[in-house]
Amino acid sequence: MVDWLLGALALMLILEGLLPFVRPALWRRVFESALQMSDGQLRFIGLASVLAGVLLLLFLRS
């Protein structure tokens, strides 16, 4: 189980690092627009991301 979680963490870090590595100017614009969002908007995006991840995990496990 720990190996699976570490593998998931490694994949997340790879995916998170792709945009700033490949398109740093775009990443900067995305980050700047995120800084202008309200806390509620950021929470909603975070919740949607968590739910999408949970649903994807459930789909992959079945």
Q: What's the total number of domains in the chain?
A: 1
CA distances from 40 to 33, 43, 44, 51 (A): 14, 5, 6, 16
- Whole-model pTM: value is 0.73
pLDDT (tens digit per residue) in 4-54: 889 889 999 999 999 999 999 999 999 999 999 999 999 999 999 999 989
Name the CA dihedral angle for 26, 40, 15, 54, rounded to a multiple of 10 degrees.
-150
Could you tell me which residues come within 8 angstroms of residue 42 by beta carbon, excluding any fewer than 6 positions away?
34
Which is more confident, 55 or 60?
55
Q: Which domain holds residue 14?
A: 2-61
Could you tell me which residues come within 8 angstroms of residue 20 by beta carbon, excluding any fewer than 6 positions away?
27
